[in-house]
Structure 1
Amino acid sequence: MKRSAVAAAVVVALAAVVFLLAAARPGQGAVTCADVDADLRPCVGYVTGKEAAPPAECCAGVKSIRAMPSGTAERRLACECVKQAAARYKGLDTDAIRDLPAACGSQLPFPLRLDFDCSTYVYNRALYIYWVRENLTVLMWIYATISEELLDLVLRQSVMAFGVWSHIQSIFSGNKPSRVVHLEAELYGLCQGDLTIVAYCHKLQSLATAFADTF
């Protein structure tokens, strides 16, 4: 990886830490269900399967909810408000709801699951700081192990390791037909040549694994 790419990855990762730690600080003002409802209304198309990705207004709303007061009681209320807002809509995609924070690059302090008991949420700053550190570790590992071309595509997609990984997955999932054609051509053209039998078998195993990943 080129030095410029490494520098950009480090800057983004540090920005992620700053953003996530800032989100852990107590916010100002009271939480209201009206505010939560207004924040999530632009997300309806995405969580009902009508839109392939959450629009900018939706992600802005998710980040707004994240910036709400960080006390246990306030976040329990915000959690209940989210569930109440969701109950007003039919045909919700539970997977899209669960993945919404990651898709927006702004993880919420409580899981977005309609069956989640909001009363069980307890804010633990020490645990959150630990999670921030672990998220950074995984994020840097992803940045360090993918190609520079792929890094350019995902570098500023999310400050969440899960969000970056999901974006990488979507890139390859959306490219399956052409990838299969490429792998077939490589398999048909493969010959041992100067390769040892071990290296040749290893190459066949790599192609078999790549084929399995397309299904």
Structure 2
Amino acid sequence: MANVLSKKFLLSFLLICLVLSPPQARAVITCDTVFNDLKPCLNYVLVGGNVPAECCNGLKSLIVKAITTADRQSICSCLKSLATTATDEQVDRAASLPGKCGVKVPFKISRDVDCTKVK
């Protein structure tokens, strides 16, 4: 009888823990989202010139959407992946966008950023 009660108690305890524990955060933002929001920045990153207002609006929109750590890490990973195929000048222009747009991005835009450390 005591064995049955302890099993029921353990099962009840585990069920309560599952219900009360916060869910694992999964990224909602995909690389498609990143590309679509930052598409207006493409010409600036590729060849330079003036940063279009639509680019800054897209960057601001993307950062506002990044409500979880997983979202921010996903954005970082997408940008890092794109940076691996870009020239140094293109990476430098991309990295300058937050400053030019007045947007705080929670990671450095570079090939070397460790996206797992983005919070």
Question: Does the pair score TM above 0.5?
Answer: yes
Correspondence for 1:80: 77
1:117 aligns with 2:114: yes
RMSD: 2.2
Q: Which residue of 1 aligns with 2:41?
A: 43
Question: 2:34–2:75: 8 Å Cα contact kept in structure 1?
Answer: yes
For structure 1, the residue ranges without an aligned partner over 5 or more in a row are: 1-28, 123-215
Aligned AA (1:121): V
Describe the SS at the equivalent of 2:102: coil
In 2: Cα distance, 1:33 partner to 1:62 partner: 14
Counterpart amino acid of 1:59? Answer: C
Quick one: which amino acid aligns to residue 116 of structure 1? V
For the residues of structure 2 that align with 1:119 and 1:103, how far apart are their CA atoms? 26
Paired residues for 1:189-208 under 5 Å:
none
Deviation at 1:92, TM superposition (A): 4.2
Give how far 1:47 is off: 1.8
2:57 is aligned with 1:63 = no
Structure 2 CA distance for aligned equivalents of residues 44 and 66 of structure 1: 17
Confirm whether residue 99 of structure 1 aligns to residue 116 of structure 2.
Answer: no
Q: Contact conserved, 2:76 with 2:107, CA < 8 A, in 1?
A: yes
Contact 1:31 1:74 in 2 (8 A): yes
Superposition deviation, residue 77 in structure 1: 1.0
Maintained 8 Å contact 1:37/1:85 = no
1:94 to partner: Cα distance: 3.0
Q: Aligned pair in 2 of structure 1 residues 41, 85: CA closer, same or farther (>3 Å)?
A: farther
Cα distance in 2 for residues equivalent to 1:57 and 1:85: 20
Q: Distance in 2 between matches of 1:114 and 1:52?
A: 22
Alignment of 1:181-196 (within 5 A): none
Contact 2:83–2:110 under 8 Å retained in 1: no
**Deviation string, structure 1 residues 67-104 (Cα, Å, up to 9, x no partner):** 12322222111111122234455564332222111101
Q: Does 1:53 align with 2:50?
A: yes
TM-score after normalising by structure 1: 0.39
- State the alpha-carbon separation in 2 of the partners of residues 76 and 100 from structure 1: 18
Counterparts of 1:96 and 1:121, CA distance in 2: 21
Q: How many residues are treated as equivalent by the alignment?
A: 93
Q: Runs of 4+ in structure 1 displaced over 3 angstroms?
A: 85-92
Identical columns (%): 37
Q: Give unmatched runs, 5+ long, in structure 2.
A: 1-26
